[in-house]
Amino acid sequence: MKHYHIELVDTLSNAIEEKMRKDLVDYENSHGIDVNYKRFSVVLTDQSRNAFGVLNAFTAFAEFILMIYG
């Protein structure tokens, strides 16, 4: 029986990032999906326009991927 390890990391190595990106692009292209990467942000402000929450996100492939800070 194989044993696997799950690890929470702050960043991915370049090698893992590149493999993930290539595999996802190949998969999406094989299903006729245009790969489009567009970053956008949503900023939560108070009445004085002071920012106290930010949602950074980007479209990737046919999905939304969210990165939440704050």
62 pLDDT higher than 60: no
- Cβ–Cβ < 8 Å for 55, 66: yes
Provide the number of structural domains found in the chain: 1
Calpha distance 23→64 (Å, rounded):
17
Q: What is the mean pLDDT of residues 23-32?
A: 82
More confident residue, 66 or 59: 59
In a domain, 9, yes or no: no
pTM over 0.75: no
In a domain, 63, yes or no: yes
In a domain, 51, yes or no: yes
List the domain range (segments joined by +) for residue 25. 14-69
Q: What is the mean pLDDT of residues 10-37?
A: 80
- Cα torsion 42, 46, 48, 51 to 10°: value is -40
More confident residue, 60 or 48: 48
In a domain, 58, yes or no: yes
